[in-house]
Amino acid sequence: MSQQEVSHRRLLGIAGLGWLFDAMDVGMLSFIIAALQKDWNLTVEQMGWIGSVNSIGMAVGALLFGLLADRIGRKNVFIVTLLLFSVGSGLSAFTTTLTVFLILRFLVGMGLGGELPVASTLVSESVPAKERGKVVVLLESFWAGGWLLAALISYFVIPKYGWQMALILAALPALYALYLRWNLPDSPRFMSVKKEETVWNNIVKVWSSPYRKETLMLWVLWFCVVFSYYGMFLWLPSVMVMKGFSLIKSFEYVLIMTLAQLPGYFSAAWLIERAGRKFVLVVYLIGTAVSAYFFGNAESLALLMISGVLLSFFNLGAWGALYAYTPEQYPTSIRGTGAGMAASFGRIGGILGPLLVGYLVAQKTAMTTIFAIFCIAIFIGAFAVWALGKETKHQELV
């Protein structure tokens, strides 16, 4: 195996480990909120705030660290975001008040939100054009591994050892990933670009006429995908309970649905270099929308499980393609800014999605109507790619 191959695998492994811990933290959050409610007698509104503060932190982090990635380098931001995430997660295990917990969750969210677009940018710039899409989708597949670990920790650790232990378990291995990242070289493309522009000029450039269409397409796409993902997936266990299944049974079903994420990623990774980015995004988003419709309307367990598995499969495959496609829309000088701004705007959808579901459930709105809203949002995202997106398969980055 050549040195180049080894370094690509190493890069994928190191970046993927951070991605895995991020997913583990997000995945455990819904279970930790349930445990905190018992320990601290939280109201429903206070529980909602924990999830929302996390998303607000992600929106701020994606914007701030995306801008910084074009100034101080991808690797440096990669280290800072993971440090923020690890320290925030570790310290939250020792909090005794909701206020301090919320402040730390905001910092964890900032680290998380900043890391994801910067990681995909770094990997995009370090891999040859013919493999770039596949490698970035494989990077995204670590997310499913993190969710599975979260489900196992929540199932076995939280009931026996408490939510504090779960948070410490999320923080410690992240520090090991930090150690691995220290010796990582920065993106060769970033190193070769002169950094003459100011942060404000980079922001303006993202919306200038050469990139306006791409930026508009990405912002609509990110908003629709994040809005529907967090709206649907954070509520999955609760939706199962509302449909009459016990909490333990609903966790088991959600675990089965989560397993379907892996073939979703791998099939997207295989197709993305053959059929192209636009094809994968449009097809997988339409698959997500149709599955969401059937999931919301399912009356029988069989239809619920089949549509839930397909929802996971298509939605996470689309996520993988989204992270591969985003950095390819911009030149190296504004790539971090462009990807970070799109992700940041998308995170607003991550704040609104779960809040909307909570509000509609309180209004006794039918589950079919709620899932129809997500279905329409995903179709809008697919249409934006089809109408405004350009194909970037095997295109050399500039």
Report the alpha-carbon angle 330-114-162, nearest 5.
150
When pLDDT is averaged across residues 329-343 and rounded to a whole number, the result is 96
Instruction: State the pLDDT at residue 247.
Output: 59
Query: 230 or 239: whose pLDDT is higher?
Result: 230
**Of the ranges 10-19, 47-56, 285-294, which is most confident?**
285-294
Output the 3-class SS for the chain. CCHHHHHHHHHHHHHHHHHHHHHHHHHHHHHHHHHHHHHHCCCHHHHHHHHHHHHHHHHHHHHHHHHHHHHHCHHHHHHHHHHHHHHHHHHHCCCCCHHHHHHHHHHHHHHHHHHHHHHHHHHHHHCCHHHHHHHHHHHHHHHHHHHHHHHHHHHHCHHHHCHHHHHHHHHHHHHHHHHHHHCCCCCHHHHCCCCCCCHHHHHHHHCCCCCHHHHHHHHHHHHHHHHHHHHHHCCHHHHHHHCCCCHHHHHHHHHHHHHCHHHHHHHHHHHHCCCCHHHHHHHHHHHHHHHHHHHHHCCCHHHHHHHHHHHHHHHHHHHHHHHHHHHHHCCHHHHHHHHHHHHHHHHHHHHHHHHHHHHHHHCCCCHHHHHHHHHHHHHHHHHHHHHHCCCCCCCCCC
* pLDDT, tens only, 48-78: 788 789 889 999 999 999 999 999 999 999 8
pLDDT band of residue 3 (cuts 50, 70, 90) is very low
| pTM to 2 decimal places | 0.90
* pLDDT, tens only, 93-121: 999 999 999 999 999 999 999 999 999 99
Q: How far is CA 395 from CA 17, 105, 273, 330, in A?
A: 27, 39, 11, 12
- Residues 164 and 252: their CA atoms lie apart, in Å, by 23
User: What interhelical angle do 332-362 and 44-72 show, nearest 10?
Assistant: 170
pLDDT band of residue 220 (cuts 50, 70, 90) is very high
Across 83-97, 274-288, 334-348, least confident range: 83-97
* pLDDT, tens only, 127-149: 999 999 999 999 999 998 998 88
> Per CATH, the architecture of 3-180+206-388 is what?
Up-down Bundle (1.20)
Instruction: State the pLDDT at residue 60.
Output: 97
Asked if pLDDT for residue 151 goes beyond 90, the answer is: no
When pLDDT is averaged across residues 18-33 and rounded to a whole number, the result is 84
Query: 165 or 175: whose pLDDT is higher?
Result: 165
Provide the mean pLDDT of the chain: 89
Instruction: State the pLDDT at residue 191.
Output: 87
Instruction: State the pLDDT at residue 2.
Output: 44
Across 235-239, 283-287, 349-353, least confident range: 235-239
Asked if pLDDT for residue 235 goes beyond 80, the answer is: no
pLDDT band of residue 237 (cuts 50, 70, 90) is low
- Of 140, 171, 72, nearest in space to 327 by CA: 140
pLDDT band of residue 360 (cuts 50, 70, 90) is confident
- Domains of the chain: which residue ranges? 3-180+206-388
> Residue 9 carries which side chain, given as an amino acid letter?
R
When pLDDT is averaged across residues 245-254 and rounded to a whole number, the result is 69
Across 5-14, 306-315, 346-355, 384-393, least confident range: 5-14
- Residues 260 and 215: their CA atoms lie apart, in Å, by 31
Instruction: State the pLDDT at residue 313.
Output: 95
Asked if pLDDT for residue 159 goes beyond 70, the answer is: yes
pLDDT band of residue 282 (cuts 50, 70, 90) is very high
Percent of the chain with pLDDT over 70: 96
pLDDT band of residue 92 (cuts 50, 70, 90) is very high
Write b or e for each residue in 289-321: b if 16 or more Cβ atoms lie within 10 A of its Cβ, otherwise e: bbbbbbbbebeeeeebbebbbbbbbbbbbbbbb
pLDDT band of residue 248 (cuts 50, 70, 90) is low
Contact yes or no for 57/106 (Cβ under 8 A): yes
**Of the ranges 151-155, 194-198, 288-292, 367-371, which is most confident?**
288-292
pLDDT band of residue 181 (cuts 50, 70, 90) is confident
When pLDDT is averaged across residues 273-288 and rounded to a whole number, the result is 97
Instruction: State the pLDDT at residue 1.
Output: 39
Instruction: State the pLDDT at residue 139.
Output: 93
